[in-house]
C-alpha cells in the first residue's frame, strides 16, 4: 500500500470532511500500483465518505477504469461485518492515525475518525463482553513516531473509565514493504483487581478471496531431533475445514514453526508469531470463500492486579500482491535481514566458521585449559582459519553430567584461572570464543537450588528458573554479565533443554491462567535485551535442544548456530537446509565431513565432500579430532576455501530447484541468488541410490539479457550463458560420484 501525505477519514456522524479530491488521487495511485482486490476491498470497507457528488463506488469506478468492472463488483459484495488481511494493515495505519508528517492533518483525523465502528485485527473477552463491544465504551488516544525513513511506530490506547483497564496496541508500519506488526499490552490502571480477561487473540481477522483458487496454507515442521525437521508442509483449506497449529510444551518451535504463508491465487500473506512460549493459530474456513485466522497465546484467563501490565505475542503480517509464493518467501527473507535479525556493532553477522572439541572430550567434561588451547592451535597450524572457538556444555561443576545445571561458575579443577587464558590466547590469534549456558533449567544439589529455591518452579528439587521473578532476573543478568566480561567471552550461547509449560500452568491460580507464562517470556526477552545493551558487539546463539525456540522475538535477538540435535547425517541436513531457508536467512549446523560420523567420538575419519556440503551453511562448526595429524587436511583446506568463496551467498534469495525429499534415490538442489550484485550459487546433491548421473536446473531471478559466468567449483574452466538460457534451458550439472555433491556459481559479467 502506498504512502501519502494525506490519509482519508472514516465517516464521522458529527464531522464531514469537505473535499475528497486528494483521497481519490491517492486511491488511484495505490490501485494502479497494487492492482489488488484486497486493497480495493479495504478502501471500500473501511471508508464511508459523505458529501460527494457521486457515491464513493462511482468515483472509485471512474478511477479504476472499465476493465476493472468485474474486480470492483466483487469488492462490493464483501460483507461489511468482515475484516480482511489488508484491513488489518489499514487499521494500524489509519485507525491509529498515521499522518505524522503533518501534525495539523493528524489532529484533524483524530477528531473526525469514527473509531466506534472500527474493528481491530485482534480480539479478547473482558468481563464476559467481546472486545468489539467493550472498546466502544473506552476513551481512545493515539500517538505516532517516525522511527526512520522506512518505519513509523503507532500507539493506540483504549482506557476503560469503570475498571481502569488500559489496552494498548503498539504497531510498526514498514514503508519499504507491505508489512505491519503489532503487540497488545494490557495494564490495570485502577485500584482494584480487574474482571477476567480471556481468549486474547492478538491476531483475529477474516479474509475473503475471489472465486477460483482455494486457500493454500504453507507451513513447516519444527526443529526437532529428526531428519524431517523443518519439512515444508501444505494444507489446502477447503470449505468448512479448520487447521490448528501450535507450540508444544512451551517451546515455540518444538513441533511446528510459527511462520505461515497463506495464498489464494496470485495474492497472499505471510503471518509470523513472536512468542517464546505456548502459542496457537487456527485457520477456519466458512462454507463460502472466507477464512478466519486467529493466533495468540494458547491459554489466557486472568485478572490483573493494580498497576500490573502484561503483553501478548508479537504479530507480523506481510502482504503479497504480485509474484508467486517463492517470491513471497524471499521478500520475507529480505525483511528478516533488515528487521528480524540481530546486528552486533550495527551489522548483520558475517558468515562464520567455528570449531569445537565436544566430540573428542565428551562435551567439556574432559576439557581443560591446555587441551582447549591445543585444539585452537592445531586448527591454525593446518591453515583452517576458524572465526570462533566453541566451548559447549559441562565446563561448570556438574559431577560428570553436563545436565546438572544451576552452578554457573567455571570449574576451577579443570580451568583454575577461568576461561581468560583460553580467550586471551584465542584473541591473540584472531579467534573469538563462544561459551554455552543454560540458565533456565536448574537441577537439585546445585548452587541455585540450594541457595534460592524460592526462585525455582520446583524449589530445591530443581526445575525451571522463574524469569518472571524480578530478583531472579536481576541476579541472573548481573551474574552472567560478570562471567562474560571476566572470561573474555565473545559469543553467548543459550540452550533450553526443558519444556516449561507444565511449570507455568501449575503455578497459575484458576483466575490467573497464562500470567506465569507471560511474565517468564517477558523476563526472558528483557534478559537478552540487557545482555545486548551491555555487550552491543556480542552475538547470541539460541539453542533449545536444537531449533525449538525459533520464534520471531527470539530471532530478533539471537541466531541459531545449531539448528537441530539431529547431527551430521547428510540427507537429513540437506532437507533441513531446504526447509528452514524459506524462513530464516541465517542458520547454522556442524560437520565432521564424514557421512557416518557419530555424535560423540574421536579418532581418524575420512574427509568426504558430499558430507561436508550436505552440512554446510552460512555458519558451520567443525567437530574434527585435531589430535589426529593424519586426516586429509589438503581436502579440508580446499573445502574451506570453497566454502569461504560462496558463504555470503547464503544471505541471498532462496529458490528450491527440486522437491523436498528424504528418499535415497533422489536428487535435491537449490539456488541462492543475490540480485543486488548479480551473483549466486547452486548446490546439488546426488544421493547414494540415484541412478541419474546428471540433472538440469532452471534458475530464477536473473536478468534475461545479461551474461553470466558459470563455474563448477570442482571443474576447470568457466562457461558464459545468458540469464535467459539459465532460466529457460537451465544449467546442467553432472555428478559422477554416488553419493556426490556439486556447487556451481554464477556472476553477471555484462
CATH level 2 (architecture), domain 653-748: Sandwich (2.60)
- The DSSP symbol for 219 reads E
The grid coordinates of residue 506 equal: 501449575
CA distance 316 to 322: 19
Neighbours of 505 (CB within 10 A): 16
* pLDDT for residue 698: 98
Domain edges within the chain? 205-298+319-339, 653-748
Q: CA-to-CA distance for 284 and 372, rounded, in angstroms? A: 55
- 318 membership: H or E segment, kind and range: strand 314-320
* pLDDT for position 10: 33
Place of cell 509470523: 272
Across the chain, mean pLDDT equals: 87
CA dihedral 299, 304, 308, 311 (to 10 degrees): 30
pLDDT of residue 139 exceeding 90, the answer is yes
Grid cell locating 129: 463482553
- DSSP one-letter code for 461: G
pLDDT at 7: 33
pLDDT recorded at residue 119 = 62
In contact, 739 and 684? CB cutoff 8 Å: no
pLDDT exceeds cutoff 70 at 526? yes
Grid cell listed for 346:
550495527
Q: What is the mean pLDDT of residues 666-674?
A: 98
* pLDDT value for 39: 35
53 has pLDDT over 80: no
Least confident among 134-148, 242-256, 455-469: 134-148
Question: Among the listed ranges 50-59, 124-133, 175-184, 434-443, which one has the minimum average pLDDT value?
Answer: 50-59
Residues 6+ apart with CB under 8 A from 424: 488
Cβ-count burial 8-34 (b if 16+ within 10 Å, e if not): bbbbbeeeebeebeebbebbbebbeeb
All 3 cell numbers of residue 178?
Answer: 507491505
> How is 500-521 classified by DSSP, letter by letter?
-HHHHHHH--TTEETHHHHHHH
pLDDT tens per residue across span 529-582: 999 999 999 999 999 999 999 999 999 999 999 999 999 999 999 999 999 999
The values of phi and psi at residue 455, to 5°, are -90, -5
The answer to whether residue 118 scores a pLDDT higher than 90 is no
Residue 550 C-beta-side C-alpha neighbours within 13 Å? 33
pLDDT tens, position by position, 382-419: 999 999 999 999 999 999 999 999 999 999 999 999 99
> Which pTM does this prediction carry?
0.87
Between CA 577 and CA 591 the distance in angstroms is 13
Calculate the alpha carbon distances from 387 to 81, 266, 621 in Å.
57, 44, 10
Q: Put the strands of the sheet holding 456-457 in their side by side order.
A: 441-443, 462-465, 456-457
Neighbouring residues of 28: CB distance < 8 A, sequence distance ≥ 6: 63, 64
Residue 272 contacts residue 256 (beta carbons within 8 Å): no
Percent of the chain residues past pLDDT 70, beyond the cut: 84
User: 32: Cβ–Cβ under 8 A, 6 or more apart, which residues?
Assistant: none
pLDDT tens-digit map of 472-500: 999 999 999 999 999 999 999 999 999 99
The H or E element that residue 272 is part of is strand 267-274
603: pLDDT strictly greater than 50: yes
Query: Do 43 and 27 contact (CB within 8 A), yes or no?
Result: yes
Query: DSSP class of residue 75?
Result: H
In this prediction, residue 63 has a pLDDT band, given cuts at 50, 70 and 90, of: very low
Share of the chain above pLDDT 90, in %: 81
Rounded-to-integer distance, Cα 512 and Cα 194, Å: 11
| Confidence at 321, pLDDT banded by 50, 70, 90 | confident
Please, what is the Cα angle at 486 between 482 and 489, to 5 degrees? 95
The whole-number average pLDDT for the span 67-77 is 32
Helix (H) or strand (E) holding 403: none
Phi, psi dihedrals of residue 530, rounded to the nearest 5°? -70, -40
**pLDDT category of residue 67 using cuts at 50, 70 and 90:** very low
What average pLDDT does this structure show over 76-81?
Answer: 32
> Does the pLDDT at position 146 exceed 80?
yes
Amino acid at each position: 500500500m502506498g504512502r501519502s501525505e494525506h490519509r482519508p477519514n472514516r465517516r464521522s456522524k458529527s464531522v464531514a470532511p469537505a473535499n475528497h479530491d486528494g483521497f481519490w488521487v491517492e486511491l488511484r495511485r495505490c490501485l494502479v500500483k497494487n492492482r489488488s482486490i484486497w486493497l480495493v476491498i479495504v478502501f471500500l470497507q473501511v471508508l464511508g465518505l459523505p458529501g460527494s457528488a457521486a457515491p464513493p463506488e462511482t468515483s472509485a469506478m471512474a478511477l479504476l477504469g472499465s476493465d476493472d468492472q468485474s474486480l470492483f463488483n466483487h469488492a462490493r459484495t464483501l460483507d461489511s461485518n468482515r475484516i480482511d488481511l489488508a484491513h488489518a494493515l489499514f487499521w494500524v495505519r489509519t485507525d491509529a492515525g498515521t499522518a505524522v508528517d503533518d501534525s495539523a492533518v493528524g489532529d484533524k483525523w483524530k477528531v473526525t475518525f469514527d473509531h466506534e465502528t472500527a474493528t481491530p485485527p485482534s480480539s479478547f473477552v473482558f468481563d464476559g463482553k467481546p472486545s468489539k463491544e467493550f472498546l466502544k465504551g473506552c476513551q481512545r488516544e493515539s500517538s505516532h513516531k517516525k522511527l526512520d525513513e522506512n518505519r513509523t511506530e503507532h500507539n493506540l490506547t483504549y482506557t476503560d473509565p469503570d475498571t481502569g483497564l488500559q489496552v494498548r496496541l503498539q504497531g510498526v508500519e514498514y514503508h519499504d514493504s507491505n508489512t505491519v506488526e503489532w503487540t497488545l499490552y494490557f495494564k490495570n490502571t485502577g485500584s482494584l483487581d480487574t474482571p477476567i480477561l480471556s481468549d486474547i487473540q492478538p491476531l483475529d481477522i477474516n479474509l475473503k478471496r475471489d472465486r477460483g483458487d482455494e486457500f493454500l496454507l504453507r507451513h513447516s515442521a519444527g526443529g526437532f531431533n529428526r531428519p524431517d525437521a523443518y519439512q515444508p508442509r501444505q494444507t489446502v483449506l477447503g470449505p468448512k475445514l479448520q487447521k490448528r497449529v501450535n507450540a508444544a510444551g512451551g517451546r515455540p518451535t518444538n513441533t511446528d514453526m510459527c511462520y505461515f504463508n497463506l495464498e489464494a491465487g496470485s495474492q497472499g500473506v505471510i503471518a509470523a508469531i513472536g512468542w517464546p512460549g505456548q502459542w496457537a493459530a487456527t485457520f477456519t474456513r466458512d462454507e463460502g470463500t472466507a477464512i478466519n485466522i486467529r493466533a495468540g497465546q494458547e491459554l489466557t484467563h486472568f485478572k490483573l492486579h493494580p498497576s500490573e501490565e502484561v503483553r501478548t505475542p508479537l504479530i507480523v503480517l506481510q502482504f503479497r500482491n504480485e509474484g508467486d509464493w517463492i517470491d513471497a518467501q524471499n521478500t520475507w527473507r529480505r525483511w528478516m535481514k533488515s528487521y528480524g535479525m540481530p546486528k552486533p556493532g550495527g551489522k548483520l553477522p558475517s558468515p562464520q566458521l567455528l570449531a569445537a572439541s565436544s566430540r573428542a572430550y565428551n562435551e567439556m567434561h574432559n576439557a581443560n585449559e591446555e587441551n582447549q588451547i591445543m585444539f585452537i592451535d592445531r586448527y591454525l597450524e593446518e591453515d583452517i582459519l576458524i572465526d570462533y572457538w566453541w566451548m559447549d556444555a559441562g565446563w561448570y561443576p556438574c559431577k560428570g553430567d553436563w545436565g546438572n545445571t544451576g552452578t554457573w561458575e567455571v570449574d576451577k579443577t579443570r580451568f583454575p584461572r577461568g576461561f581468560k587464558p583460553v580467550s586471551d590466547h584465542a584473541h591473540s590469534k584472531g579467534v573469538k570464543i563462544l561459551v554455552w549456558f543454560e540458565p533456565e533449567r536448574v537441577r537439585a544439589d546445585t548452587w541455585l537450588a540450594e541457595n534460592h529455591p524460592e526462585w525455582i518452579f520446583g524449589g530445591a528439587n530443581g526445575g525451571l528458573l522463574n524469569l518472571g521473578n524480578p530478583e531472579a532476573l536481576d541476579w541472573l543478568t548481573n551474574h552472567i554479565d560478570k562471567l562474560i566480561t571476566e572470561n573474555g567471552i565473545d559469543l553467548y550461547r543459550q540452550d533450553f533443554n526443558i519444556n516449561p509449560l507444565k511449570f507455568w500452568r501449575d503455578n497459575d491460580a484458576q483466575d490467573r491462567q497464562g500470567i506465569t507464562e507471560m511474565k517468564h517470556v517477558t523476563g526472558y526477552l528483557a534478559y537478552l535485551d540487557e545482555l545486548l545493551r551491555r555487550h552491543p558487539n556480542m552475538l547470541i546463539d539460541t539453542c533449545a535442544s536444537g531449533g525449538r525456540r525459533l520464534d520471531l522475538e527470539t530471532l530478533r535477538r539471537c541466531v541459531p548456530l545449531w539448528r537441530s540435535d539431529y547431527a551430521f547425517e547428510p540427507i537429513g541436513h540437506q532437507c533441513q537446509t531446504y526447509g528452514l531457508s524459506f524462513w530464516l536467512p541465517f542458520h547454522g549446523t556442524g560437520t565432521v565431513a564424514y557421512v557416518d560420523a557419530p555424535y560423540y567420538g574421536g579418532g581418524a575419519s575420512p574427509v568426504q565432500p558430499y558430507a561436508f556440503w550436505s552440512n554446510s551453511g552460512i555458519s558451520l562448526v567443525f567437530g574434527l579430532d585435531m589430535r589426529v595429524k593424519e586426516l586429509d587436511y589438503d581436502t579440508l583446506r580446499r573445502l574451506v576455501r570453497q566454502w569461504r568463496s560462496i558463504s555470503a551467498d547464503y544471505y541471498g534469495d532462496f529458490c528450491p530447484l527440486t522437491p523436498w525429499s528424504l528418499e535415497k534415490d533422489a536428487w535435491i538442489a537449490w539456488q541462492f541468488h543475490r540480485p543486488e550484485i548479480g551473483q549466486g550459487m547452486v548446490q546439488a546433491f546426488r544421493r547414494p541410490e540415484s541412478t541419474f548421473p546428471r540433472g538440469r536446473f532452471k534458475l530464477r531471478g536473473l536478468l534475461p539479457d545479461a551474461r553470466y559466468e558459470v563455474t563448477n567449483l570442482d571443474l576447470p574452466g568457466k562457461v558464459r550463458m545468458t540469464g535467459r538460457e539459465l532460466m529457460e534451458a537451465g544449467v546442467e550439472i553432472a555428478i559422477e560420484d554416488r553419493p556426490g555433491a556439486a556447487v556451481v556459481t554464477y556472476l553477471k559479467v555484462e
